A and B are shown apart, each in its own frame.
Chain A
Amino acid sequence: MNQPSPDLAAYHRQQAEWSAPDPALGGARRAALRVPLDYRRPGERDIEIGVARHEATGRRHGVLMIGPGDDLGNSGLSLLSALLGSLPGELVEAYDIVGFDHRFMGASTPIFCDLEPAERFWVFHHPESFDAEVRYQATVAAKCSAGSLDLLAHANSRNICRDMDVIRGVLAADRIDYLGYSYGTYLGAVYGEMFGAHLNRAVLDAICSPDWVWRGLFTDFPPNGERALNRWCRWAATEHATYRLGSTGADVRARYDAVLAAVDRGDEVTLMGFPLDRTLARLIPVGILNSEKAYPVLADIVRHLRTGADLDADSVDFLARMFGQPKEESGTVAQLAILAGDAPWPRSPALYEQDMLKAAEEFPWTGAALNGIKAPAFWPVPPAEPATRLGTEAGGGSYLLVAADEDMSTPWVAARRMHEVLGDRSTFVAVADTAHHRVFPFYGNVRLNELVTDFLLTGRTPGPDHVCPNPDRLLEPVASGPGMTGAGG
């Protein structure tokens, strides 16, 4: 069962040198593992993968691998550290919990280039004009690939999954359990397809659609973004007495749109003295809307932008967290390389221009940014291999799929699509009336946390299409909305 190909045996047999427990990683021990840069040529050139392991504090049940990054390009080691402070105690007792930074970022042979601050936001970069955007995105691709293509040509999800299997081998685990969020959900699905015999149970939370790889990730966002923004507007209207942003959702939206219009006109609009450009004026709300728990922060910010009123301490903290620890530059580089490296993107500027104009009309908030031309259109190398076909006979592992029905970034329909593709190997759990990206365990839905813990430890699954209600529901559901109920769940 646990027999790697002879070429890879040496990698699986390597002895990890574990550090002393690192308090910055919740007491996990670090190690650096060697993996082949190119799995078609093992033994030629190696790269390093930074891993960390927190040993089971009680009776050891097995290995729980944490998928790297909640958002692609974010540090898997940071996520491990966050989880060690949040996971139910039974899991920390039972599992060696292992996290890693995926190749080319963080602790794993990171790649740096000299991106300007504004160039780090290429994903949500809001076009000033199509021509200017071509220039901007081509420059990001040129900078990120300059000098590192010998490495970055091997950045893709399949190679990250091969790295995961080396980690598994080094840990001498025949089978692993897995927990992945957002981009990590895709890795969990690909790993099960490639190494199904070595995957026991996997929890995927905040699920990417298998159809997205990867331009679809961008073009699916604008309608979900509008929906999420309008949901916040409805909430802010209920808080009109506090924030004075309007007493209907439409009033609130008009006030936020007025702020955007001012920014887009070039008026000076500052947040805590920091001038907002057309990208940040959208990106900051996007970041906030990933959790309804932060709704008051956005209301406070819009009030501040409109009236100059001081920000609440909570908002200042939130913004400090958001900007105090920007995504590592290597994360931005690796993210681009992977998004471009899993499947080819269209390259025709004319096609993107058409898409941009149409989406800007239809989804004014983020349509132009996300349907317009993107750096992968200029990536200098094609994918090294075809993207993984998920849900084939070759795959293995049993999956628990978790989706918050109002999640903006990974919408409920994307998770349903993954369920459809994985079929009988997956059980679907919806978390109702919840706008939150990554619900387990972070949102604090007790029923969901019990379900997931039980699944990991015993393999027990709830019945098909189980719904966890949200006892702390923030908003009355909108009957006609296209969310869970509307989409046929």
Chain B
Amino acid sequence: MSAAPGARPVTDAPSPAAPIRWTQAPDGSQRARVPVPVDHRDPDGPTIDIAVARHPAGERGVRLGALVVAPDDPGSSGIALAGALVKALPPAVTARFDVIGFDHRFSGESAPLQWGLDQREIFWVFHQSESFAAEVRFQAEIAAKAAERSLAVLPHITTRNIARDIDVIRRGLGEERICLLGHNYGSYVAAVYCQLFGDRADRVILDSVLSPDWVWRGLFGNFARNCEAALRRWCAVTARPAGPLGDTPEQVRDAFEEVLSKAGAGGIMLPGVPVPLDDQFLRVLAMMMLSSRRSHPALADVVRSARTGAPLQAATQQLIGSMFAVPRDASTAAAQMAILCGDAAWPRALEEYESASEEASGFMGRALLGVKAGAFWPVQPLEPPTVFGPTGAGGVLLVQAEQDMFTAAVGATQMRRLLGERARLVMVRGMTEHRIFPFAGHAGVTAVAEEFLTTGRLPDADLTLDGEGTREP
């Protein structure tokens, strides 16, 4: 149907966009709004403005170019991420690169979606109902809101169009080529950019990498399995003789399930937490605490406290407070849904979801494998999902923790395989960290990434590093 641009030769690139006009922001960065067409097939049609932030390179003499940061979750602010990154990136990188962040189309400050989603709907990903029929209604109602408010733009809210927006930004920056850094979903955005505009991509880092095979229902099933595996590991490390939750992993698991069913039966009050926790909330809380070893003790503390009524430790209370300090925004959830439901068509046969959720195992299985709004999505993708292969990018460095719960390591190995010879994978053995460079402070990874960004040199071969060298908070 639509002509999907392949990796296009540099000579065939569209005429340069108007130069971006920056204004100074109070935090020292610069801000701009860059118009992009809603429908890239119709460049003269309606446009929206993409909010872009630039943190200029620290040292004029050594500037190498622009490092564009892709938003790390669909719907999440790329401007906020870029702000966090400039504080965490090695000085050698911030000295040489303008760090560019943006809120992707129809999120954040870039024409956000207003669907009037309520608190339960915002957590649609993890939602489950007492019956399949009730969940069908819940998810169909959300899709109806999307149709009612945004039908005309929905088909254009896709990763491929975000990649096209990045190229508009590149042209506005006046850069022949850009470097890219993408974590989690951002790794997918950056990888798609390389497929569409490979000749325009120079040094590209994909960190905590999504597999193209997961786009996107597959991501849900994959994630359910990872959560369950993480819970089992937690049970194993939490079990100890005369421990508060039991001395075998089975006893710890029973304690967890007991608390979960208590939450489901009417909510549990945790001392110091103002609202009762229902089972859906508790699952999300457990999922977040399982994602890093550092918060494993906090989950044990939550389960202990929920069973006995004993107060939570101060550190646990603090952690819970920080997790929910910034309430999830309805427009963030809407943009997330638009992409997860819009990049690739979801099955429409309800039996498929019903049997998947009946057969689902693990504490997140039924919620994640059940029917989702995608089954009722009111539009179909205008083009097929991206097919991956070697690209014209200068080089691609993939960085992955072996036990990352959010993005299982198989995603990185799959992407590495597809990208071929100009890609290298650095796998960190035994590590659970999600988003390693630079946030985890892993010295080995930082050294490889810094070298790559500043010189363009990739390791000679894929590397496996061990988890040591991670900076403890």
Contacts and interface: CB of A to CB of B under 8 A. Distances in A.
Contact of A349 (B137, B345, B378, B379): B137
Q: What 4 A-B pairs are tightest by C-beta distance, nearest first?
A: A347-B144, A142-B348, A131-B133, A348-B144
B350 A380 contact: no
A263 to B, nearest CB: 23
A47 interface: no
Contact of B350 (A138, A145, A146, A149): A138
B137 A138 contact: no
A149 B351 CA distance: 20
Kindly name the residue among B134, B145, B147 whose own CB sees the greatest number of chain A CB atoms within 10 A.
B147
A348 B348 contact: no
B348 A378 contact: yes
Interface in B207-228: none
Interface string B339-380: 000000100111100000000000000000000000111111
Given A134-B133, A138-B376, A139-B351, 10 more contacts: A135-B133, A139-B350, A346-B148, A347-B376, A350-B137, A350-B141, A378-B348, A378-B376, A381-B379, A382-B147
Nearest to B376: A378
B310 interface: no
B352 to A, nearest CB: 9
Contacts of A142: 348-350
A344 interface: yes
A141 interface: yes
A315 B350 CA distance: 40
Nearest to B147: A347
B349 A146 contact: yes
8 contacts: A131-B134, A131-B137, A138-B136, A141-B348, A142-B348, A146-B348, A350-B137, A350-B141
A380 B345 CA distance: 9
Contacts of B348: 138, 141-142, 145-146, 378, 380
Contacts of B378: 347, 379-382
Contacts of B133: 131-132, 134-135
A203 B147 CA distance: 38
A138 B140 CA distance: 10
B300 interface: no
Interface string B136-158: 11001101110110010000000
Contacts of A379: 378
Given A141-B348, A349-B144, A382 B379 contact: yes
Given A348-B141, A349-B137, A349-B140, A139 B376 contact: no
Contacts of B345: 380
A346 B136 contact: no
A347 B140 contact: yes
Kindly name the residue among A138, A141, A381 whose own CB sees the greatest number of chain B CB atoms within 10 A.
A138
A421 to B, nearest CB: 26
Interface in A196-214: none
Interface string B112-150: 000000000000000000000110110011011101100
Interface in A370-402: 378-382
Nearest to A134: B136
Nearest to B131: A131
A135 B376 CA distance: 12
Contact of B147 (A132, A141, A146, A344): A344
Nearest to A150: B1
The SS class assigned to the A binding surface is helix
A132 B375 CA distance: 17
Contact of B140 (A132, A134, A381): A134
B377 to A, nearest CB: 7
Interface in A317-362: 344, 346-350
Contacts of A153: 380
A149 B151 CA distance: 18
Kindly name the residue among A134, A146, A381, A382 whose own CB sees the greatest number of chain B CB atoms within 10 A.
A382
Nearest to A131: B133
Contacts of B375: 138
Interface of B: 133-134, 136-137, 140-141, 143-145, 147-148, 151, 345, 348-351, 375-380
Contact of B151 (A138, A344, A348): A344
A145 B375 CA distance: 13
A335 B399 CA distance: 52
A382 B151 contact: yes
A139 B349 contact: yes
Interface string A119-153: 00000000000011011001101110110010001
B393 to A, nearest CB: 33
Contacts of B140: 134, 138, 347-349, 378
A158 B147 CA distance: 23
A225 to B, nearest CB: 27
A134 B354 CA distance: 14
A346 to B, nearest CB: 7
A98 to B, nearest CB: 32
B380 A135 contact: no
Contacts of A141: 348
Nearest to A138: B350
Interface in A241-267: none
A134 B132 CA distance: 12
Nearest to A144: B348
A381 B141 CA distance: 17
B118 to A, nearest CB: 13
Nearest to A383: B151
Given A138-B136, A138-B348, A142-B350, A149 B376 contact: no
A380 B344 CA distance: 13
Contact of B148 (A139, A145, A149, A347): A347
A482 to B, nearest CB: 34
B471 to A, nearest CB: 48
A340 to B, nearest CB: 11
A380 B137 contact: no
A236 B143 CA distance: 48
Contact of B143 (A135, A143, A347): A347
Contacts of A135: 133, 136, 350
A460 B378 CA distance: 48
A127 to B, nearest CB: 13
B105 to A, nearest CB: 19
Contacts of A347: 140, 143-144, 147-148, 376, 378
Contacts of B136: 131, 134-135, 138
Contacts of B349: 139, 142-143, 146
Interface in A404-425: none
A381 to B, nearest CB: 5
A24 to B, nearest CB: 37
Contacts of B379: 380-382
Given A145-B348, A378-B348, A382-B151, A346 B137 contact: no
B148 A380 contact: no
A132 B350 CA distance: 12
Contacts of A143: 349
Kindly name the residue among A135, A153, A346 whose own CB sees the greatest number of chain B CB atoms within 10 A.
A135
Nearest to B154: A382
Contacts of B377: 380
Contacts of A382: 147, 151, 378-379
B151 A346 contact: no
A149 B380 contact: yes
A378 B345 CA distance: 14
Contacts of A139: 349-351
A292 B350 CA distance: 42
Given A138-B136, A138-B350, A381 B144 contact: no
A219 B436 CA distance: 58
Nearest to B151: A382
A153 B381 CA distance: 12
B147 to A, nearest CB: 5
A141 B349 CA distance: 9
B321 to A, nearest CB: 35
Kindly name the residue among A139, A348, A350 whose own CB sees the greatest number of chain B CB atoms within 10 A.
A348
Contacts of A348: 140-141, 144-145, 148
